[in-house]
């Protein structure tokens, strides 16, 4: 039966992929990739000779209808992003919504995503959390941070290494210098590291140690009780 598969791919270490994901990619009539050059490395590593086409934020609006029609005609399509689960700060939502509205079966495989290991590794409460992804770069940024100042759940953000210091400085002003936080970078890769401390301590550290690689910033929610030493 034709359907759309959403297939998570490794965020770093190529071994972080499931046997089922490999089978789906081998059996799919078409694999849609955020960047075919990046995905070709993964497919070649596992000797998968799938038909590969690009599907990214710049062409998804123009391609989504044709993909839908191909699935309705009997093809099985797998969507992957450069790393992690499609739809989580990556293209995917539009295609999934279009297929759902057309009555096409959509199946999302479990697998790699950056924010879960960063959340658990932070040491902050994991029972309730909010995923904010990338904050607005300009318009709405200050408003969004002000809204989050009273958030009691653990907060998770994605950030560019080029904007991390600016974001930490703004968080110091919004959440207070003593709010606990952690910065995880290059998760599952060779230089996988997590730095923990207050927002002020993290700001001072990265002021002298410019970060590199993909970053997940986790901030503890507002506590009703004073933090204990």
pLDDT, tens digit, 9 for 90 and up, residues 198-213:
999 999 999 999 999 8
Cβ partners under 8 Å of residue 169, min gap 6: 203
Closest CA to 95 of 84, 80, 83: 80
What pLDDT is stored for residue 89 in this prediction?
A: 86
Q: Residue 96's domain spans which residues?
A: 4-108
Same domain, 59 and 138: no
Same domain, 195 and 158: yes
The last residue of one of the domains, among 80, 108, 136, is 108
C-alpha span between 77 and 33 (Å, rounded): 11
Check whether 161 has a pLDDT greater than 50.
yes
What pLDDT is stored for residue 35 in this prediction?
A: 94
Same domain, 56 and 132: no
Same domain, 16 and 59: yes
What pLDDT is stored for residue 225 in this prediction?
A: 60
pLDDT in tens, 72-121: 999 999 999 999 999 998 889 999 999 999 999 999 999 999 999 999 99
> Is 196 part of a structural domain of the chain?
yes
Mean pLDDT, range 5-18, rounded to an integer: 95
What pLDDT is stored for residue 223 in this prediction?
A: 85
Reported confidence tier of residue 224, pLDDT bands at 50, 70, 90:
low
Q: Walk across the sheet containing 77-80 and list its strands.
A: 52-54, 30-33, 77-80, 4-6, 106-108
- What percent of the chain has pLDDT above 90? 90
> Is 10 part of a structural domain of the chain?
yes
Rounded mean pLDDT of the chain?
94
Rama region for 19: left / alpha / beta (φ>0; ψ in -120 to 50; rest): alpha
Same domain, 82 and 174: no
> Taking the CB of residue 3, how many other CB atoms lie within 10 A of it?
15
> Is 99 part of a structural domain of the chain?
yes
CATH value at residue 63: 3.40.1010.10
Same domain, 81 and 99: yes
Same domain, 102 and 126: no
Bridge partners (DSSP) of residue 106 are 4
Same domain, 40 and 58: yes
CATH value at residue 198: 3.30.950.10
Q: Tell me the pairing of strands 77-80 and 106-108.
A: unpaired
> Is 25 part of a structural domain of the chain?
yes
Same domain, 84 and 38: yes
Q: How many domains is the chain partitioned into structurally? A: 2
- HSE, CB side, 13 Å, CA atoms: give it for residue 195: 20
C-alpha span between 186 and 192 (Å, rounded): 5
Please report where in the chains the tokens 């100042």 appear, as a residue. 149
Same domain, 78 and 130: no
> Is 75 part of a structural domain of the chain?
yes
pLDDT in tens, 61-74: 999 999 999 999 99
Check whether 41 has a pLDDT greater than 60.
yes
Mean pLDDT, range 141-162, rounded to an integer: 96
CA distances from 170 to 16, 18, 144 (A): 34, 39, 12
What pLDDT is stored for residue 81 in this prediction?
A: 94
> Is 168 part of a structural domain of the chain?
yes
Check whether 228 has a pLDDT greater than 70.
no
The last residue of one of the domains, among 91, 108, 125, is 108
Mean pLDDT, range 183-197, rounded to an integer: 94
The last residue of one of the domains, among 108, 134, 153, is 108
DSSP-derived 3-state class of residue 160: coil
Same domain, 10 and 86: yes
> Is 167 part of a structural domain of the chain?
yes
Same domain, 95 and 148: no
What pLDDT is stored for residue 90 in this prediction?
A: 87
> Is 226 part of a structural domain of the chain?
no
Reported confidence tier of residue 229, pLDDT bands at 50, 70, 90:
very low
Cβ partners under 8 Å of residue 36, min gap 6: 52, 53, 54
């Amino acid at each position: 039966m034709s359907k759309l598969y959403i297939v998570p791919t490794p965020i770093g270490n190529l071994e972080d992929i499931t046997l089922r994901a490999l089978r789906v990619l081998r059996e799919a009539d078409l694999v849609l990739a955020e960047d075919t050059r990046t995905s070709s490395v993964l497919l070649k590593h596992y000797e998968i000779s799938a038909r590969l086409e690009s599907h990214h934020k710049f062409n998804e609006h123009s391609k989504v209808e044709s993909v839908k029609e191909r699935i309705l005609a009997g093809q099985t399509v797998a969507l992957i992003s450069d790393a992690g689960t499609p739809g989580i700060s990556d293209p995917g939502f539009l295609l999934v919504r279009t297929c759902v509205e057309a009555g096409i079966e959509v199946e999302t495989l479990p697998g790699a995503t950056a924010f879960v290991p960063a959340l658990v590794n932070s040491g902050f409460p994991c029972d309730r959390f909010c995923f904010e992804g990338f904050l607005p770069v300009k318009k709405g940024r200050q408003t969004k941070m002000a809204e989050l100042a009273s958030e009691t759940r653990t907060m998770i953000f994605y950030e560019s290494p080029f904007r991390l210091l600016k974001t930490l400085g703004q968080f110091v002003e919004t959440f207070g210098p003593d709010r606990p936080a952690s910065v995880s970078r290059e998760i599952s890769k060779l230089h996988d590291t997590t730095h923990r401390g207050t927002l002020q301590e993290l700001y001072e550290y990265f002021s002298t140690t410019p970060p590199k690689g993909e970053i997940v910033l986790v901030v503890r929610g507002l506590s009703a009780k004073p933090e204990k030493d």
